[in-house]
Structure 1
Amino acid sequence: MHPEHDAGARPGWITTPLTAELLRGALDLERTERGLLPHRLPAWARRQIPDGQLAMAQSQPAGVRLAFRTRATAVELDVVATKRIYRGAPPRPDGVYELLVDGRLAGRAVAPEGDALVIDLSSGATHTRPGPVETLRFTGLPEHEKAVEIWLPYDETTRLVALRTDDPVDPPRTGDRRVWVHHGSSISHGSNAATPTGTWPAVAAALGAVELVNLGFGGSAVLDPFTARTIRDTPADLISVKVGINIVNLDVMRLRAFGPAVHGFLDTIREGHPTTPLLVVSPLHCALHEDTPGPTLPDLGALSEGRMGFVAAGDPAETAAGKLTLAVIRAELARIVGERAADDPHLYHLDGLDLYGEADAAAMPLPDALHPDPAAHRHIGERFAHLAFGAGGPFAGGTR
């Protein structure tokens, strides 16, 4: 690295340029007037995004972290965070930044202020108010050389402005950990985990000793071809695809289209990863849509009481005409993977009910009827680690 002695910083502090070699979990970095913006979809794919929901979700740095080695005992990171404000809904908690030393939590911080993205749930209209740069400080770190990671908030778009330390920084060592690329919905993205390392994919990655690339996109796991091509082109030792809930939420297709779309998505991934272990995961239990099709709408009654909630607006009778429910999707995914696995020995299926089933929902109910709470995220991550990375699982094995 080429550290810079920042004339504006306190004496003894070193500013290290923010570059791709210090970022993990991001597929593209955009240099803006207000800092470095990590993206989880490449620029060519972003040009094909059809709506603001996915554009926002892919810019939220779920699983993205700064990684470096240093003897520094103090670290400062300047950021511009984007705060989402939903009109009529209760305020969202500030996103959490977590600093890990040699894989263990050593500090947390929040950026209380930042840009504000105001969203009207009823109309979908948005507008942005600019906000200030915030400085996050982590002190009291051990003096020895160590691996440091700063995990960014999974649900706050974050521009990285400057990194300062009281000792020089070196890039992370190239390890022998396998790279796991995971695609899924808002639950894979992180909703409603409390911290970035508390999302279920982050929990599973830590237990499985793998490097996570999280392509979970809130509201946007709908078998988009550009997402399949992104996975195809991303280096990976392990791949998982969790689909179903957003297809029901948005009511975007019927059974006739769903099967061929799944085949096409998997075919595209296989173009770049012909023998990589590929795990297809069906939806978790969600009483809202087990047997009731979408679309999913905000629960206006809950909003009037100051809490977030959702309702299913479809008619169960419409499943006879091909409208999709979670139960229908689970059966179809099991059938498709079973048939394909006859010619693809590295393709696997995991029933989402084995991660979070009806009994789990009774013990750890979904607070808003759609997303798990922090305890359930940990539970799902631990289950996934056991079933996928454990002995006999599709991702079992050691280092590269």
Structure 2
Amino acid sequence: MKLKGTELDYQGAVSVESTPAGAKPWRIPYEQQELFLPKSLLRQTEVPAGVRITFKSDSRTAVLHVEGSDVERTIDCVVDGKLHQSVDMTPNQEVCRFDNLPENSSRVELFLPQKKGPLIVRELELDHGASYSHIEDNRLRWISYGSSITQCEEASGPSRTWPALVANHFDWHSTNLGYSGNCHLEMMVARMIRELPADLISICAGINIMGVSSMSERTFQAALIGFVQVVREKHPHTPIILQSPIFAEKESRETHPNKVDLTLQIMRTIVRETVEVMQGQGDNNLYYLDGLEVFGEEWKDSFPDKLHPDAEGYVNMSKQMIQLIEQLGLGTQLKPTAVI
């Protein structure tokens, strides 16, 4: 059985472009790509982080045909919520094969690469005579917006990023909007999140803004408020977690001011105060999460470049997030609010 890339379901994608070569998942509405500036942001929206091809089948094999690339890529096969097989693809490799799938009809998710450029899917090949059906995903929906630390390029595979692990733990549908180097509270991203169905939204802001001095103390808090308020236009009651940056030793960012006199310590205070201000205005579904509680200095050995957690670090970060989300009352207690 062969299915064209354009016939498949891509969960976690915002849109899917039909190209002459096959299906290309995007993490923005691709028809509006010229509005998602700068180009550095646009390039990251092509990376299918958190996107998975989902289906139900009793096929013992699944062979994914993709357009070749000049970079190494990893695709994970998750069966009924458990990692079944991970395939590391060499540059220019176009075929990814998964074997020994369960005999009984199972929920299969093929997690696409979370790094290094776009992916175009040509076709999916299953055993002759095997069953195949689409899966209607009615689970609670979580959107996570952030930087490379949400995209998780250093994770050992695309199903082992911290957002994927957290979503798997709570059995949530996940949309990963981590844009490496490009989390700067762009209004087009806020407008996009506003239009997406969500039962929980998390926003981790600050590390990219600090790194390139794209906002000052004068503009950062106003941008945070504006971003949340735009999302609130169609998510008036959806829980939103506003998280400050995790620990970072690189360039002494914790205490050494950048070009506009911001440090990570100052930014955490601004994020916390922003949440307090908006709570004071009646937003009772806005929650603050201190990045140092998520991954603080005690985990510094997990930062090989003093900025990004390594593969094991992201696994540990997922465990921290699960505990903190539960403490906020937003884990197993989360209620549906998606109405879009």
TM-score interval, smaller chain = over 0.9
| Paired residue type of 2:132 | V
Q: Which residue type is aligned with residue 157 of structure 2? A: T
Partner of 2:98: 138
Contact 2:190 2:231 in 1 (8 A): yes
Residue 18 (structure 2) aligns with: 31
Tell me how far apart the structure 1 counterparts of residues 32 and 307 of structure 2 sit (CA, whole Å).
28
> Does the Cα contact within 8 Å between 2:48 and 2:114 map onto a contact in 1?
yes
Q: Give the structure 2 partner of residue 340 of structure 1.
A: 278
Say yes or no: does 1:384 pair with 2:321: yes
User: Who wins on radius of gyration, i.e. which is larger?
Assistant: 1
Matched residue count: 330
**In 2, Cα distance between the equivalents of 1:53 and 1:140?**
40
Pick the aligned partner of 1:103 from 72, 81, 106: 81
Runs of 4 or more consecutive aligned structure 1 residues displaced over 4 Å after TM superposition: none
Tell me the TM-score normalized by structure 1.
0.79
**Per-residue displacement from partner, 1:113-162 (whole Å, max 9, x unpaired)?**
23xxxxxxxxxxxxxxxxxx611111111111110000011013211011
> Percent identity, aligned pairs only?
32
Task: Quote the Cα distance in structure 2 between the aligned partners of 1:208 and 1:275.
Answer: 20
Q: SS in structure 1 opposite 2:95? A: strand
Structure 1 residue 287 displacement after superposition? 1.6
Are 1:25 and 1:214, in contact at CA under 8 Å, matched by a contact in 2? yes
Once the two structures are TM-superposed, the CA of residue 174 in structure 1 deviates from its matched residue by: 3.3
* C-alpha distance in 2 between matches for 1:199 and 1:19: 26
Distance in 2 (CA, whole Å) between partners of 1:150 and 1:97 is: 7
- Give the superposition deviation at 1:292: 2.2
| 1:287 to 1:221, Cα distance in 2 relative to 1, 3 A | same
Q: 1:291 aligns with which of 240, 255, 267?
A: 255
Task: Report whether the alignment pairs 1:360 with 2:320.
Answer: no
Q: CA deviation at 1:100?
A: 1.1
Gaps of 5+ in 1: 1-13, 85-93, 115-132, 295-313, 315-321
TM-score, structure 2 normalization: 0.92
| Deviation per residue, 1:259-307 (Å, 9 max, x gap) | 111111011010110000000010000022112244xxxxxxxxxxxxx
- Whether 2:267 is the aligned partner of 1:329: answer yes
Q: Distance in 2 between matches of 1:32 and 1:111?
A: 22
Match of 1:162 among 98, 117, 123: 123
Secondary structure at 2:319's aligned position in 1?
A: helix
- Tell me the SS of whatever aligns to 1:158: coil
Q: CA separation in 2, counterparts of 1:64 and 1:27?
A: 9
> What is the alpha-carbon distance in structure 2 between the residues aligned to residue 243 and residue 279 of structure 1?
11
Pick from 240, 244, 249 the counterpart of residue 282 of structure 1. 244
**Corresponding residue to 1:243 among 205, 224, 228:** 205
Could you say which residue in structure 1 is the equivalent of 2:107?
A: 147
Cα distance between partner residues in 1 of 2:270 and 2:38: 27
Which residue is 2:169 aligned to?
A: 207
Describe the SS at the equivalent of 2:184: coil
* Preserved contact between residue 16 and residue 30 of structure 2 (Cα < 8 Å): no
Cα displacement (A) at 1:44: 4.9
Contact preservation (8 Å) 1:73, 1:141:
yes
